Amino acid sequence: MPVTITTRVSDNLAKLIDKIAKNEGMDRSTVLRRFLEKSTKNWFLEKSLKEYQEGKLTLRQAAKISGLSLWEIIEEVKNKKIYFPYTIEDLKDDLRAVNE
């Protein structure tokens, strides 16, 4: 069931949102819902990638947190040029997960 969330924004931000809504042929609420959904997904992705790079998460864990497949998170790591010392044990764990 949908939940109503109320927040205050500056006049300038409201004008920008309304401009986007008009440009896209949507109402303000639809624009805000889409922005919130995209931003929320992006937050989880960025957080999981940061924790992966810090060695706090495996690729498989980062994928699960961000709602992506293992191959999608690998592509994100590649695109963002995130480097992490990947061990043979990590590879074995990931291959086991793929084969499950």
Condensed to tens digits (0 to 9), the pLDDT of residues 4-51 reads 999 999 999 999 999 999 999 999 999 999 999 999 999 999 999 999
Residue 86 has what pLDDT? 72
Block residue for tokens 């963002």: 80
In this prediction the pTM is 0.73
pLDDT exceeds cutoff 90 at 1: no
CA distances from 85 to 34, 61, 99 (A): 36, 16, 23
Residue 89 has what pLDDT? 87
pLDDT exceeds cutoff 90 at 99: no
* pLDDT bracket for residue 90 (50, 70, 90): confident
Condensed to tens digits (0 to 9), the pLDDT of residues 42-77 reads 999 999 999 999 989 989 999 999 999 999 999 999
Higher pLDDT, 61 or 90: 61
Are the beta carbons of 28 and 63 closer than 8 angstroms? Answer: no
